[in-house]
Each structure stands twice: as C-alpha cells, then as structure tokens.
C-alpha cells in the first residue's frame, strides 16, 4: 500500500468512527430533549454499547497499522493529510494509554458517583457524596499517571480539554485575573445599584422563543442545518457540519436568561457550522480545545449580546415581541439591565464580572484535591472559605456550594479552567476584531453581523484542528494567552455603568 492508499483507507475508517460518534451524539441529544422517562435505562445501555464500539474501532490494529508508516512519511503528504495524520496520531497515542479495564472502572465509578451526586445535591448532603468523590480523585491520579505528564500531575488532566496548556500558565494568569476582578467587583458592589422595577413582569414563553429564533436567523445560524429545542440544561451538539443543534430553557420570570443562553449556544453552533466541508467525518472538523470553543460562545453572548449597539438595533423588535410591556424603555435601559453585577453563589448564573472568580475557586480546589493538599472530606469548609475571600458571600448549604456543579461527579477534572480561558481568548479576539473591522459597531447597530461572522469563520472556524489553540490565538491576534484584553474590556464597560472612575 502506498501513502495515498493508506490515507484513503484511514479516511474511510475515521469516517465510520465519526458516524458512530454522530449516532451517539444524537442519542444524547434525544435523551435531553424528547426521550420519555422510562426510556432512560435502555438509553444508558445503548450509549454504553456504542461508546465501546467506537473506542474499539479507534484503538484497533488496523488504525495502528495505518498511522505507524504515515508518521514516517509526513513530509511527503499534502498539508491537509499531514494535519489529519497528526491529529489522529495524537488521539490514538492518548487513547491506547488507558487500558480497557481502567476505562470500564472509571465509567462504573463515574455513573455511581453521578447518581450519588444527584441525591446529595437534592438533600444538600455532602457526606453521602464524599466517598464517591474520594474514589474519583484516586482514579484521576491514576489516569494522569497512565497518560503521563511533565511537571505537575494536573497537567495530564488539563491536556484532555486544553491541549498544550499548563497549570503554571493558568495559575499565573488566574492570579492577576483574580486580583483585578475581585477589586472591580468590590467597587461595583459598593457603588449605587440600578433600580429596575420593569424587569418584574411575566414574559410569555412563546414570545421569548420567537424573539430568540429571529435573532438566531439574523446572526447567521443556518436553520436548515440546525434547530433549537427545549432542554433542562442548554447545550449545543453536532452530528455533521450540516446538522448542528442547540437547546435553551425558558423562564417566564426572566426576560433575558433564555435569550442569552440562545446566543451562547449559537456561538458554539456557528463555530461547528463553519468547519471545512472537506474535513467532515474526520477529527479535523473539531475545535482544538474547549477554551477556544467557549471563546466563540462568550463572544456572541457577552461582547455582542450585552452591548449597547446590539440593543439599539433590537429594541424595536423586543418591544414588538412583548406588546405593551416595554413601551417607555430605551436601549440604554436594556443595556443597564442586562449588565447587572451581583455577588452570587451559583456559577452558571454569574455575570461577566464575577464569573471567572467562580472558576478560579474550582481550579484551586481541584488542584489541591488532586495533589492531596486538600482532603476530600474537608472540601465544603475550603469551598465556603474561598467563596468568602473571592466573592464575599456566605454559603448557606452545600447544595449552593461545593455540590452545585456536575463536573466532579462526571470525573471532569481539569475542565473548569477552560471556561475562564474562553473568556480571556474571546476578549483577545474581540480586541483584534475592533481593530480590523472598520465601523464595527456601526454595522452591529444596523443588525449586520456578516462581517463579524466572516472574520470568525476565516480566523477560527474553518481551521478546525488544523492548528492548536495557542497557534490560532497567536495567528489571529499576534499574542499568546493574555488576561490584559479581558480586564481592559471589563473595566471600560463596567466602570462607566456603575459611575466609577
């Protein structure tokens, strides 16, 4: 077999594996949108079976025999083929480091831990979850050792979600972010707070839905290659670049929560609709990391959806969507309301100013648990103390504290930092967008998003995994990971909003 034939064969095998992955994603999507409750048990089985089949197909002898010689011939391959072999070899090397027995044990422990967590959170009963978490921490250490790492053990786990990132880099960036954002939040909370009684109304669900759908179409989300549905927790998923779906949840007492989640998930979905057609059914039609994926959702949700020019354009539509409810409002009133800062207990409800602080807390605690500096049993106390230090709030119970997130029960250690990295990347990209697109805000206030989407398509989306995240950020902005643009963005937006100098 020559290298052309090998590539051809590899593409066929990867295409099959990708199809199995798409079927799995569709099962997950259905599980969270339409599946009747009694379907849960069977669905769990179907997902486990397909996951095992996908894993087996990927770590097969055939894949190994195809990539081994191709690695030796990289310089003879076309650019696209070389990137494909590199991405596949990277995934393969990591996948074979975890023995099937270990993967099964982890999955078993994980599913028990998840069930225990659901009950523990409902009853705010940390001791009931603690032994499961302890087992998971031990398995995470084992996993890191199997995968291998340089320096800190945490690096092995971080690599799973943010390739090439190290704990040292994250810690040094977070130190600055924590201090600066902590200061900003403190002065905002001491300033005069906005009075917004008009927000206390009932916002009919259907009207919210229709308004969100209009915005989705306006910003360039292709509704013939995607759809939006209801689910308890909003998410986005793709089965193919021509079928990228999102979900949202609507609260009738909150005018903006569904809309902002729609914009957030649309940011993820626009990314996936923008992968190259020629990369479909290969590992190249994926984001190189969660941080860069999150940068896209944050950019649309925060930089665009929470901006004044956006609301200068959409105010008449918003008023028409809720007849008689918003007649005396100005775009500035909406801008004020949608950018309220509050010290809160729950990460997923946090605003732009406090969000990263919630992430920093989790990053520090999971590191400490992994290294053994923090005993799992002592987690609630450590959590509550850090909430006091970083956010200045008292945690009333563990359900509103260390039991609030699903991540640890799902064995996702090293995941949290990617949320904050996404914020930082979004501001780095956005700073460059403002420099490179003439009269950017003029086009947004006219409801024209084509230039923005074109820029993102060109600099981020179409690249897929042909570059790593640091390479994408460096190529697009000329800089490495940097907290400066995000802190500048926050200060220049929120200080005027709260009358601070």
Q: How far is it, in rounded angstroms, from Cα 81 to Cα 7?
A: 7
Nearer to Zn ion, 295 or 428 (CB): 295
Own/partner pairs for 57-62, CB < 8 Å, 24+ apart?
57/13, 57/16, 57/17, 57/20, 58/17, 58/91, 58/92, 58/95, 59/92, 59/95, 59/96, 60/13, 62/13
- Shortest distance, position 287 Cβ to Zn ion, whole Å: 11
Does position 262 interact with Zn ion (CB under 5 A)? The reply is no
Choose the stretch contacting Zn ion; rule: CB under 5 A; options: 66-74, 133-141, 297-305, 313-321: 297-305
Query: Crossing angle of helices 126-147/100-123, nearest 10°?
Result: 150
Does position 423 interact with Zn ion (CB under 5 A)? The reply is no
Choose the stretch contacting Zn ion; rule: CB under 5 A; options: 146-154, 158-166, 289-297, 475-483: 289-297
Choose the stretch contacting Zn ion; rule: CB under 5 A; options: 166-174, 195-203, 295-303, 392-400: 295-303
- Shortest distance, position 163 Cβ to Zn ion, whole Å: 18
Nearer to Zn ion, 312 or 352 (CB): 352
Of 293, 304, 233, the residue nearest 268 (C-alpha): 293
- Shortest distance, position 256 Cβ to Zn ion, whole Å: 17
115 catalytically annotated: no
Encode burial over 171-197: b for 16+ CB neighbours within 10 A, e otherwise: bebbeebbebbbebbeebbeeeeeeee
Nearer to Zn ion, 169 or 293 (CB): 293
Choose the stretch contacting Zn ion; rule: CB under 5 A; options: 224-232, 290-298, 361-369, 475-483: 290-298
Nearer to Zn ion, 71 or 233 (CB): 233
The conformation of residue 162, written as its DSSP 8-state character, comes to: B
- Shortest distance, position 410 Cβ to Zn ion, whole Å: 16
Catalytic hit among 265, 286, 294, 301? 265
Nearer to Zn ion, 132 or 245 (CB): 245
Nearer to Zn ion, 228 or 297 (CB): 297
- Which pair of structure tokens corresponds to residue 73? 């011939």
- Shortest distance, position 241 Cβ to Zn ion, whole Å: 19
Choose the stretch contacting Zn ion; rule: CB under 5 A; options: 170-178, 272-280, 291-299, 492-500: 291-299
Residue nearest to Zn ion (CB): 297
The conformation of residue 289, written as its DSSP 8-state character, comes to: B
For the chain, helix (H) and strand (E) counts, in that order, are 20, 3
With vertex at residue 366, the alpha carbon angle to CA 360 and CA 371, rounded to the nearest 5 degrees, is 125
Task: Write the CA distances from 11 to 22, 93, 175, 230, 240, integer angstroms.
Answer: 16, 18, 44, 35, 15
Strand 236-240 to strand 228-230: parallel, antiparallel, or no bridges (unpaired)? unpaired
* 165 CB neighbour count, 10 Å cutoff: 23
Nearer to Zn ion, 408 or 415 (CB): 415
Q: How far is it, in rounded angstroms, from Cα 138 to Cα 157?
A: 13
Collapse the DSSP code of 229 into the 3-class scheme (helix H, G, I; strand E, B; otherwise coil) and give the result: strand
- Shortest distance, position 386 Cβ to Zn ion, whole Å: 23
- Shortest distance, position 268 Cβ to Zn ion, whole Å: 6
Choose the stretch contacting Zn ion; rule: CB under 5 A; options: 140-148, 222-230, 239-247, 294-302: 294-302
Nearer to Zn ion, 181 or 297 (CB): 297
- Shortest distance, position 264 Cβ to Zn ion, whole Å: 6
Does position 297 interact with Zn ion (CB under 5 A)? The reply is yes
Size of the site for Zn ion (CB under 5 A): 1
Residues whose CB falls within 8 Å of the CB of residue 271, separated by 6 or more in sequence, listed in order = 287, 293, 296, 456, 460, 461
Give catalytic residues, as residue numbers.
265
Residues of the shown chain interacting with Zn ion in the complex, contacts defined by CB under 5 A = 297
């Amino acid at each position: 077999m020559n290298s052309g034939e090998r590539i051809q064969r590899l593409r066929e095998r990867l295409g099959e594996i990708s199809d199995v992955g798409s079927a799995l994603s569709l099962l997950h999507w259905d599980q969270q949108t339409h599946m009747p409750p009694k379907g849960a048990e069977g669905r769990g089985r179907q997902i486990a079976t397909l996951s095992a089949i996908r894993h087996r197909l990927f770590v097969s002898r055939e894949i190994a025999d195809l990539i081994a010689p191709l690695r030796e011939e990289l310089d003879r391959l076309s650019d696209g083929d070389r990137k494909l072999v590199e991405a596949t070899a990277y995934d393969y090397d990591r996948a074979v480091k975890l023995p099937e027995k270990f993967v099964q044990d982890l999955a078993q422990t994980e599913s028990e831990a998840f069930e225990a967590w659901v009950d523990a959170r409902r009853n705010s009963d940390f001791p009931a979850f603690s032994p499961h978490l302890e087992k998971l921490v031990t398995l995470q250490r084992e996993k890191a050792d199997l995968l291998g790492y340089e320096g800190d053990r945490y690096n092995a786990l971080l690599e799973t979600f943010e390739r090439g990132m190290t704990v040292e880099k994250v810690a040094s960036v977070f130190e600055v972010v924590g201090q600066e954002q902590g200061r900003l939040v403190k002065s905002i909370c001491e300033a005069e707070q906005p009075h917004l009684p008009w927000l206390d109304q009932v916002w009919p669900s259907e009207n919210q839905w229709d308004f969100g759908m209009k915005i989705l179409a306006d910003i360039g989300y292709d509704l013939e290659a995607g759809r939006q549905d209801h689910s308890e927790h909003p998410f986005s998923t793709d089965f193919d670049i021509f079928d990228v779906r999102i979900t949202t949840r609507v609260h009738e007492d909150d005018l903006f929560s569904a809309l902002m989640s729609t914009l957030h998930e649309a940011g993820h979905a626009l990314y996936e609709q923008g992968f190259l057609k020629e990369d479909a059914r290969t590992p190249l039609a994926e984001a190189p990391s969660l941080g860069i994926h999150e940068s896209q959702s944050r950019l649309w949700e925060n930089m665009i959806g929470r901006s004044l020019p956006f609301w200068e354009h959409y105010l008449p539509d918003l008023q028409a969507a809720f007849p008689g409810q918003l007649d005396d409002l100005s775009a500035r009133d909406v801008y004020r309301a949608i950018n309220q800062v509050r010290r809160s207990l729950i990460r997923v409800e946090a605003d732009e100013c406090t969000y990263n602080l919630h992430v920093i807390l989790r990053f520090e605690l999971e590191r400490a648990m992994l290294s053994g500096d923090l005993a799992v049993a002592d987690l609630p106390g450590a959590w509550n103390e850090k909430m006091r230090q970083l956010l200045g709030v008292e945690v009333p119970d563990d359900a509103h504290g260390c039991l609030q997130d699903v991540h640890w029960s799902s064995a996702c250690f090293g995941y949290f930092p990617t949320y904050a990295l996404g914020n930082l990347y979004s501001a780095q990209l956005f700073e460059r967008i403002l420099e490179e697109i003439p009269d950017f805000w003029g086009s947004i206030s006219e409801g024209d998003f084509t230039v923005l989407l074109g820029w993102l398509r060109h600099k981020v989306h179409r690249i897929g995994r042909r570059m790593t995240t640091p390479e994408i950020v460096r190529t697009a902005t000329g800089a490495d990971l940097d907290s400066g643009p995000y802190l500048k963005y926050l200060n220049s937006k929120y200080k005027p909003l709260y009358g601070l100098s």
